């Protein structure tokens, strides 16, 4: 909805420049507004109105819109239309009222009726763009914004920004970035646009382009915190972590209180397996803002990666003490207890994590493995089943679930049934097909296994190594190896 709210702002500004100019110095002019509203509202109570010029009525309508007082806005709009029937701006406000009141079709009908009356009025196109955006008709919204551009002398940067948001909704991130660049050319002071450009590059997987753009920006404004930060994000996306850290350090030098740069820098250290360095950076944020659950969780993860499980548990507990419903910290404690060989303790903490986030398939997989370690086979079966229901397109879940029956219960029939369910969702997944080959061969259904092997080799020949790694029986089978060899020698 970012594009929707942003567009509303543009429309109101375009239709009410008088109000915006007057109210730029709000503290100085609040007395003017108070008296104006008082005069208007007293007139309502008395059943009649004193004289208001059109600019005053625009100010009143704009104020009611900004405060979401739609009933009062409609009264003011209707009065304005009655007093100034030739003023198109009040008709546009009426369309905007319909939109804000959840009646977009009425808004469109009103706007369409105005085209012939004032074909050069940009407010009509701008408002119609907002209506289309609210209806998720983003291409139509873009067309309306583009129609308005030649008719507008100001706020062009905001219009280009709104167009960019529409392109973001269409996932056309290159076009979105292009319009954001036009916006920042028109308004160099609006550095928030750099964040939006960075977002487009990230979502469009255009990290190399992002690096080029932000380096150019830094050449123009070397003390731009936002440019340095987004440059670091682009470098980290390409796993150029040392360059990313340098960029984040520049951002921190410009503003030592800018905590996002610290977090991003720490995460780079994590990716480089430099966990102590990451911890040190995370802890620096405690000097800048109140410690939060997420940061303590990240520190706990670092200690867990260093195999300092008791210390990791301490930080996970600190996380929970700040935010008791932080499910990842509960699961983190459970995982640490597994590493410490304390499976019962692990189980109780994992149960709490699942209570807090019962739609997390990965939780159920780890939970099932812990239940297996404790010999709770029926419970593990239920956990695997729940995981497969939550994420049926996750191949590893089907492999783990079927392997539970094949390896633990030696029930190859049930294991094959589970794989059939998985293949229903992922018919082209060769890992599932090769696992079927293994189960069939382990169950002594050799002919079926060979037929299935041909299917798997057709899907992905190189993945046959998964079969040989999983099943010693298949690995040592002359007929299995012969089929693989003959297939390899085919001219594919």
pLDDT at 44 over 80: no
Could you give the angle at the alpha carbon of 38 between the alpha carbons of 32 and 43, nearest 5°? 130
The pLDDT score that the predictor gives to residue 65 is 87
Per-residue confidence band for 186, with pLDDT thresholds at 50, 70 and 90: very high
The pLDDT score that the predictor gives to residue 39 is 85
What gap in Å lies between CA 37 and CA 44, rounded to an integer? Answer: 11
pLDDT at 20 over 50: no
Short-list 83, 87, 90, 84, CA closest to 59: 90
What gap in Å lies between CA 289 and CA 336, rounded to an integer? Answer: 28
Instruction: Quickly tell me which residue has 């660049």 as its tokens.
Output: 181
The pLDDT score that the predictor gives to residue 27 is 57
* Cβ atoms of residues 291 and 297 within 8 Å: no
Q: Does the global pTM surpass 0.85?
A: no
pLDDT at 165 over 60: yes
Per-residue confidence band for 177, with pLDDT thresholds at 50, 70 and 90: very high
Short-list 65, 137, 120, CA closest to 95: 65
pLDDT, average across residues 386-404? 96
What gap in Å lies between CA 8 and CA 62, rounded to an integer? Answer: 11
pLDDT at 25 over 80: no
- As its CATH architecture, domain 171-289 has Alpha Horseshoe (1.25)
Q: How does pLDDT run across 91-106, given as a tens digit for each residue?
A: 899 999 999 888 999 9
pLDDT at 49 over 80: no
Per-residue confidence band for 48, with pLDDT thresholds at 50, 70 and 90: low
pLDDT at 18 over 80: no
Q: CA dihedral defined by 216, 218, 221, 224, rounded to 10 degrees? A: 140
pLDDT at 13 over 90: no
Q: Find the helix or strand (DSSP H, E) in which 337 lies.
A: helix 327-339
pLDDT, average across residues 179-185? 94
* Cβ atoms of residues 304 and 332 within 8 Å: yes
pLDDT at 19 over 60: no
To the nearest whole number, what is the mean pLDDT of the chain? 90
What the block records as the tokens of 59 is 């100010």
Q: Return the percentage of the chain with pLDDT > 70, whole number.
A: 92
The pLDDT score that the predictor gives to residue 22 is 46
pLDDT at 253 over 70: yes
Cβ-based burial of 130 (10 A; exposed 0-12, middle 13-18, buried ≥19): buried
CATH T-level fold of 1-170: 1.25.40
pLDDT at 45 over 70: no
pLDDT, average across residues 56-77? 89
Q: Where are the domains of the chain?
A: 1-170, 171-289
The pLDDT score that the predictor gives to residue 189 is 87
| Mutual angle of helices 138-148 and 156-169, in 10-degree steps | 160
pLDDT at 274 over 90: yes
Q: How does pLDDT run across 349-392, given as a tens digit for each residue?
A: 999 999 999 999 999 999 999 999 999 999 999 999 999 999 99
């Amino acid at each position: 909805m970012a594009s929707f709210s942003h567009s509303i702002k543009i429309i109101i500004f375009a239709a009410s420049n008088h109000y915006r100019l007057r109210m730029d110095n709000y503290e100085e002019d609040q007395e003017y507004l108070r008296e104006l509203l008082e005069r208007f509202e007293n007139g309502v109570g008395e059943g009649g109105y004193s004289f208001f010029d059109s600019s005053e009525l625009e100010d009143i309508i704009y104020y009611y819109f900004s405060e979401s007082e739609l009933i009062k806005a409609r009264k003011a709009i209707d009065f304005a239309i009655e007093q100034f029937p030739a003023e198109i701006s009040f008709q546009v406000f009426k369309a905007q009222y319909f939109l804000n009141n959840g009646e977009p079709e009425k808004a469109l009908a009103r706007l369409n009726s105005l085209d012939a009356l004032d074909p050069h009025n940009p407010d009509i196109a701008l408002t119609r763009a907002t209506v289309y955006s609210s209806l998720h008709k983003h291409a139509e919204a873009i067309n309306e914004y583009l129609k308005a551009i030649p008719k507008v002398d100001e706020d062009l940067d905001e219009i280009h920004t709104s167009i960019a948001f529409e392109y973001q909704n269409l996932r056309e991130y290159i076009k979105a970035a292009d319009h954001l660049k036009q916006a920042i050319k028109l308004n160099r002071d609006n550095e928030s646009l750099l964040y939006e450009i960075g977002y487009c590059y990230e979502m469009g997987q255009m990290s190399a382009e992002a690096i080029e753009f932000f380096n150019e920006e830094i050449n123009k404004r070397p003390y731009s915190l936002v440019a340095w930060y987004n440059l670091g994000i682009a470098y980290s996306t390409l796993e150029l972590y040392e360059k990313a850290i340098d960029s984040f350090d520049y951002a921190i030098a410009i503003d030592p209180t800018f905590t996002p740069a610290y977090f991003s820098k720490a995460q780079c250290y994590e990716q480089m397996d430099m966990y102590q360095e990451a911890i040190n950076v995370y802890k620096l944020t405690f000097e800048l803002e109140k410690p939060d659950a997420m940061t303590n969780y990240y520190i706990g993860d670092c200690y867990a990666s260093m195999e300092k499980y008791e210390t990791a548990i301490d930080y996970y507990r600190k996380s929970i003490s700040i935010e008791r419903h932080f499910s990842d910290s509960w699961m983190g404690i459970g995982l640490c207890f597994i590493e410490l060989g304390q499976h019962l303790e692990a189980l109780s903490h994992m149960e709490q994590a699942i209570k807090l986030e019962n739609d997390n398939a990965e939780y159920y997989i780890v939970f099932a493995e812990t239940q297996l370690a404790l010999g709770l086979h029926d419970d593990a079966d239920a956990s695997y089943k729940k995981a497969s229901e939550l994420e049926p397109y996750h191949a590893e879940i089907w492999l783990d679930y079927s392997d539970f029956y094949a390896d633990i219960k030696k029930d190859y029939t049930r294991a094959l049934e589970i794989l059939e369910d998985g293949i229903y969702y992922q018919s082209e997944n060769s890992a599932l097909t090769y696992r079927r080959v293994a189960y069939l061969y382990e169950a002594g259904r050799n002919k079926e296994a060979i037929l299935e092997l041909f299917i798997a080799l057709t899907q992905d020949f190189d993945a046959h190594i998964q079969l040989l790694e999983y099943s010693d029986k298949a690995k040592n089978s002359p007929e299995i190896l012969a089929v693989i060899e003959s297939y390899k020698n085919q001219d594919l």
